[in-house]
Structures are given as structure tokens and as C-alpha cells.
Amino acid sequence: MAPTPLIAGNWKMNGLSDEAADRARALAGKAQASPPACAVAVCPPFTALSAVARELQGSPIAAGGQDCHAEASGAYTGSVSAEMLADLGCRYVIVGHSERRHGLGETDHLVRDKAKAALRAGLIPIICVGETLDEREAGNALMVVESQIDGSVPIEGGPVVVAYEPVWAIGTGRVPTLADVGSVHDHIRQRLCVRRGDGASIAILYGGSAKPENAAELLGVEEVGGLLVGGASLDPDSFWAMVETAQP
Ligand code: PGA
């Protein structure tokens, strides 16, 4: 069965709680005026999550975290567990974003443990993979992404979402050709089907400089099951234009 498309906004480290609540309220208003045909989620900073979750109550827009710790609780100063995110009303959590893999040295193994933690807490992990520019130019994109899928996607434990985000496309305005997006997504689908019984029904999002102007063509690529949107998700009008582009 084809997965329901998901449009997810990654707000990254932007917005104090009032601003985040205003943005969430604007999105909830748009969802009420024109109910989305796809699944929608926003992932604000931890500090704004409860204000955002409050604004999204009763709306079809879900809240998500941007990361979680692999353990449920313990002596991990500064960390937030998947259970804590679930407690705030989150449905999703992003794990393995390239800004954590490359900026903070997170490994496939750690990302898999975080994804398992999310599943344990009843959350849906959005597991990010993607090659660097050097890896793409060396012709290794498929190999890199395959090894990230094998290393970071748990084999069982509940539903997951995968996001293909080429590192060089994030926040740069550069987007791979549609053919390249298609070939990586096909490859991810094949790997997911080899590894998991539900491989055919996992939504595989594209992320990296997605915006209203390119959303339709990206969503038109076979196997692209939604978008993970950074910069363009900070503007409710832009984000909602992308939501309205996504059809089941
Ligand atoms: P971008 O970020 O849309 O600003 O490129 C995407 C992401 O990092 O998830």
C-alpha cells in the first residue's frame, strides 16, 4: 500500500516560544480552513514544544522533536528522551539529521538506538540519511545511503519514516536532479523492502532546499512520499503551500 505523504517542517534552532506558538497557531488556522490531504508535522526546538503542542491541540498537524536520547531517563545532562517528547504530545521525532551526524559526530549505530528509543516511546522516528558532496562527486551516493539505511533503520519495533537529505542540498538552494532523487529513493525503497516486512509502505521523504517552487516536481518523483522542509517551513504561507501540493 502506498504510504500517506508526510510534509514535515524542521524549525531547527529558530524561534522563542511566543514566535513558535504564533507560527503554530497560523498553521492550525490554515488546517482548519482547508484540511490537509496529507499528514503534516512540525518539529520546533524543545523549548517551544509545549507551547506549539498546545496550539496544535485538536488540529490534524502533529508535533515532533528534532532529536532524542537513546535512553528513557538517567544521568544525561542536557538530553531529552523520547518518552519526554511523547509526554508533551509529540507523534514524531527526527533522528540522524546531518547537522547531528556531521556537526556532532553521530554514528549510524547511535541513530539506530535513537530510532529504537522513539519506537519504544510510541513515536514515529523520521530517520535521516544522505551523502556529502564529496561522496556524491566520487560516485558513492547510493553506497553511502545504503550503508546508512542498513546501519540506522531498526528492523522491527513499529512504523518509521525515512528522509533522504543530501547534505550538500540542505540550506544551500541546491537540489539534486529529479533523476538523481528518483534513483536514490528507488534504492532506499529496495533496501527497506529487503530489511523490513513493511518496507513497501514506509514513507520516504525528500529534504534539502525544498520550497513551494519545487515541491510539485519533487513530490511527482516516484517513491518521494513527502518532504522534510527546513528554511521554507518557518514561513506558514510557504509551508502550507507545500502541504497543499501533496496529494495522497
Ligand atoms: P532546508 O533544510 O529545507 O533548509 O534545506 C532541510 C533540513 O535540514 O531538514
Residue-wise DSSP of the chain: -PPPPEEEEE--S---HHHHHHHHHHHHHHHHHS--SSEEEEE--HHHHHHHHHHHTTSSEEEEES--BSSSSSS-TT--BHHHHHHTT--EEEES-HHHHTTS---HHHHHHHHHHHHHTT-EEEEEE---HHHHHTT-HHHHHHHHHHHHS-SSSS--EEEE--GGGTTTS----HHHHHHHHHHHHHHHHHH-TTGGG--EEEESS--HHHHHHHHTSTT--EEEESGGGSSHHHHHHHHHH---
Grid coordinates representing 80? 531529552
Atom number, ligand 1, closest to the C-alpha of residue 171: 5
Alpha carbons 57 and 165: distance in angstroms, whole number:
29
Name the closest-CA residue to atom 2, ligand 1: 230
171 Cβ closer than 6 Å to some ligand 1 atom: yes
**pLDDT surpassing 70 at residue 12:** yes
Band (3; pLDDT cuts 50, 70, 90): confident
List the one residue out of 180, 198, 200 whose CA is nearest residue 189: 200
Name the closest-CA residue to atom 3, ligand 1: 230
CA dihedral (169, 172, 176, 182) positive or negative:
positive
What tens digit of pLDDT does each residue of 201-227 get?
999 999 999 999 999 999 999 999 999
233 Cβ closer than 6 Å to some ligand 1 atom: no
Verify whether residue 165 is a known catalytic residue: yes
User: Rounded to the nearest 5°, which phi and psi values hold at 23?
Assistant: -65, -45
Region 63-86 average pLDDT: 98
Q: What is the pLDDT of residue 248?
A: 78
208 Cβ closer than 6 Å to some ligand 1 atom: yes
User: Which amino acid type is present at position 245?
Assistant: T
Q: Looking at the whole model, is its pTM more than 0.85?
A: yes
Region 55-82 average pLDDT: 98
Region 14-41 average pLDDT: 97
Band (1; pLDDT cuts 50, 70, 90): low
